[in-house]
Amino acid sequence: MSVRLGLSPLSKALSMRRALNVNLKPCALALAVSLPLSGYVQAQEIEIDIPAQPLGTALQEFGRQTNLQVLYSPTDVQGKNSTAVKGTQEPGKAIATLLKGTGVSYGLQGNAVTISAIASSGLELGTTQVTANQLGTVTEGTGSYTPGTIATATRLVLTPRETPQSISVVTRQVMDDFGLDAIDDVMRHTPGITVSTYDTERTNYYSRGFSIVNFQYDGIPTLRDAQYSAGQTLTDMAIYDRVEVLKGATGLLTGAGGPGGTINLIRKKPTSEFKSSIELGAGSWDNYRSQVDVSGPLTETGNVRGRAVAASQDKHSFLDHYSRKTGVLYGILEFDLDENTLLTVGADYQDSDPKGSSWTGTRTIFDATGKKLDLPRSFNNGPKWGSWEQYSRTAFATLEHTFDNGWVTKGQYNHQINGYNAPLGYISQDSATASSIYARKYVGDTTSDSLDVYASGPFELFGREHELVIGQSLSISKWKAKDYTATTYFNNSYDFYNWHGQAIEPLWTATKINDETTRQTGTYVTGRFSLTDELHLLLGSRVANYQVTGTSDTQESGKVVPYAGLTYDLNDNFTAYASYTEIFQPQTQYRTRTRTMLDPNEGKNYELGLKGEFFDGRLNSSLAYFEVHEENRPLADTAWNSQPGVDFSYIGTKTKTKGYEAEISGELARGWQLQAGYTHKIARDDDGKKVATWEPEDQVSFYTTYKLQGNLDKLTVGGGARWQSAGWQTVNNWGYPGGGRSEKFTQAPYWLVDLMTRYQVTENLSATLNVNNLFDKHYYTNIGFYDSAYPGDPRNVMVTTRWDF
């Protein structure tokens, strides 16, 4: 039988895998943390600094600092805490101190330390699970609301405290507790993020007043097309371990993009022991969901592991004549090619098939005479034949190799097809007595190929150890589409106030062919320099090139994107930091009066903050002040656009967003988990006028669960709420007597309250109840999109049963 050597969450190298024979009882599961150096002398005294913390984490850190293999069973160390170790001493003495009072023994032979809480029997170890990798710590199975390590910001695997930027992580446990089955649900729970719904199929996310257009999948970046949409904002969460949201400019790793932030979705990984689960759920509006997840070794030695996930959902809505079916398939395989080399291949398939899709919101705000419409929350402006079908097909592969000196090389390839088929329409009031359908159809897909190769590892300079990442990325994205804007209607006259979606689908005629290719290349380097034990400097840069060719005008952009960060450990719990980041985004869709493209939108992010780490890393907190300086923000050229017969045009403007945010996540006490945050921001243009006014200036979010103790330990209760201050938007009232006028529409501040409870019926069977919008608050998630509105979900309930076997 083989042992899989897992990575320490705090190490900066990949896990190593090799077959070992050690003296442990047959039931033991071994976890190895390995960074061996040839010729290492065990008796050598080295500098060691490991605070008291959960024993498993402490052993992983011991392996990193000593460059020894540490083999242990997770069950042997579960629930135990280490003793602090600090100073210059031999590894044998250090491990004895670390284990003091735990009831756990050790054996030291060669480059390996074997940990055991029971007597040995001379049998081989079974396969084990890797708890971390170059993407950071796996959160599945930890029960935690906070991550151990993350790598989204710089490619360096760092703890949240070591990362000089604001980052929020929604772990697998949070998703399971609150029934966050879709990425929209995850974003609503993420502190500081505003979710704005355009219509039934399109959603936008805002961070620090800017739309988030950057997505990553296991760290591979892609740009989202918010106009046509093609799957990203309809992502099902069944296949993901966690979602990391890095706030502010992220050009170092993403290249082109917006200054709001990046969403990194980290896929579930195969486990080295068999595990599986089945979930069945039912909820409001005929919402039915099922999910199957199977994972484990595929060979006797465990050198090949696999995982398969399938999910299906069929749900109606509070909106009239609207429903959506979604399907997800996911498969991943891991191969230990040798003791230091891991090959990963996988694919996923996601489909969204809606019926009765709304378009441009769900209802207009004003009627044809200029009066505000009083419509029920369930009103849906789309016809029953309306649909915005979206799909995503992805294949990916990763090859990673660990060298004996701690360096890692990793190559990642991602092939993705995002497509859409959208016959759409909405009913509009042409006059006080007549209404008709306005319809268009859009069909297309985007095929993207992305490759990222990098090397990462430690190096010595001036007597200190530092870390370095050097990488190269290439992506090619091809968009092909047809727009059907010439339509032949049949009997296009309807009763607006008795509208139930019954309409005749028009005859479509293609009028525009889109064929565009976007190429991005980037060379990046990041270094983390240990100036002192407490002071670390992060410096990085990316040479980015961006080119668009095809039916739009050719546009090329090249830019050197700098990155700088500084962290200083004030004491055992707090670290002060400062950072500067940049990003740029070509603007192919925004044209000036002369029909030329606007210059690229450029964003600069300045941030100062304080991060805290408590209870041995089980609780993390952060407080940050930020400024985002933006150039060439697209703004409607109102003076030009007011003239008859001209093409709609834009001008570029400068903006500055200032704000601060606070967040806390993790375990407050045994069984008590929390994620909470507060964000304040104001964005103004060069003239001091507020922009991005629909996104609230202030937001509060907190969600918590508590697993009861004693005789009630089968019960977990929880809940949370989110609040936002007023937001407003200027909308056009075209029916107002005298030729129309602009009006200010304000969304008043509001609270939304959610509840959850879970009961562990048996060791393998549980039932969870989620209640969302408990007090049935009426509110809008978007105002102003084509002078329309979109209401938020009313109170709804979901019951989910899960069987683990």
In this prediction, residues 249-264 reach a mean pLDDT of 90
What torsion, rounded to 10 degrees, do the Cα atoms 68, 74, 76, 81 define? 80
In this prediction, residues 176-181 reach a mean pLDDT of 97
Higher pLDDT, 7 or 185: 185
Task: Indicate the pTM of the whole model.
Answer: 0.83
Of 544, 412, 560, 415, nearest to 477 by C-alpha is: 415
b vs e for 135-147, b when ≥16 Cβ sit within 10 Å of the residue's Cβ? bbbbbbebbbbbb
Q: What pLDDT does 6 receive?
A: 35
Query: What is the per-residue pLDDT across 509-524, written as a single tens digit (0 to 9) for each?
Result: 999 998 989 899 999 9
Q: What pLDDT does 12 receive?
A: 35
Q: What pLDDT does 117 receive?
A: 63
Q: Helix count (H) and strand count (E) of the chain?
A: 7, 48
- Please name the helix (run of DSSP H) or strand (run of DSSP E) that holds residue 424, with its range, or none: strand 408-429
Is the model's pLDDT at 110 over the cut of 70? no
Q: What pLDDT does 132 receive?
A: 58
Question: Of all residues in the chain, what percent carry a pLDDT higher than 90?
Answer: 63
Q: What pLDDT does 601 receive?
A: 86
Query: What is the per-residue pLDDT across 610-625, written as a single tens digit (0 to 9) for each?
Result: 999 999 889 999 999 9
Q: What pLDDT does 66 receive?
A: 84
Q: What pLDDT does 103 receive?
A: 72
Query: Sign of torsion, CA 122 124 126 128?
Result: positive
Strand 214-217 and strand 261-267: the pairing is: parallel
Q: What is the DSSP letter of 236?
A: B
Query: What is the per-residue pLDDT across 330-378, written as a single tens digit (0 to 9) for each?
Result: 999 999 999 899 999 999 999 999 999 999 888 889 999 999 999 999 9
Query: What is the per-residue pLDDT across 672-716, written as a single tens digit (0 to 9) for each?
Result: 999 999 999 999 988 889 988 989 999 999 999 999 999 999 999
When mean pLDDT is compared over 36-45, 192-201, 567-576, the highest value belongs to: 567-576
Question: Which residue matches tokens 């604001």?
Answer: 166
Dist. CA 777–CA 775, nearest whole Å: 6
Higher pLDDT, 546 or 565: 565
With bands split at pLDDT 50, 70 and 90, how would you rate the model's confidence at 20?
very low
Residue type for 204, please?
N
Structure tokens at 146: 């906070």
Average pLDDT, the chain: 87
DSSP strands (E only) in 67-138: 69-72, 85-89, 105-109, 112-116, 132-133, 136-137
Query: What is the per-residue pLDDT across 755-795, written as a single tens digit (0 to 9) for each?
Result: 999 999 999 999 999 999 999 999 999 988 888 999 999 99
Is the Cβ–Cβ distance between 484 and 509 less than 8 Å? yes
With bands split at pLDDT 50, 70 and 90, how would you rate the model's confidence at 13?
very low
Is the model's pLDDT at 134 over the cut of 90? no
Of 743, 662, 739, 668, nearest to 705 by C-alpha is: 668
Is the model's pLDDT at 718 over the cut of 90? yes
CB-side neighbour CA atoms (13 Å) of 513: 2
Q: What pLDDT does 408 receive?
A: 94
Query: What is the per-residue pLDDT across 702-713, written as a single tens digit (0 to 9) for each?
Result: 999 999 999 999
Question: Of all residues in the chain, what percent carry a pLDDT higher than 70?
Answer: 90
Query: What is the per-residue pLDDT across 69-98, written as a single tens digit (0 to 9) for each?
Result: 787 766 677 667 788 888 888 888 888 888
Is the Cβ–Cβ distance between 267 and 309 less than 8 Å? no
Is the Cβ–Cβ distance between 664 and 620 less than 8 Å? yes
Query: Sign of torsion, CA 142 143 149 152?
Result: positive
With bands split at pLDDT 50, 70 and 90, how would you rate the model's confidence at 231?
low
When mean pLDDT is compared over 139-148, 308-317, 433-442, 457-466, the highest value belongs to: 308-317
Q: What pLDDT does 225 receive?
A: 64
Query: What is the per-residue pLDDT across 584-608, written as a single tens digit (0 to 9) for each?
Result: 888 877 888 887 778 888 899 999 9
End-to-end CA distance of the chain: give it in Å, rounded: 23
Q: Is 683 exposed, middle or buried (0-12, 13-18, 19+ CB in 10 A)?
A: buried
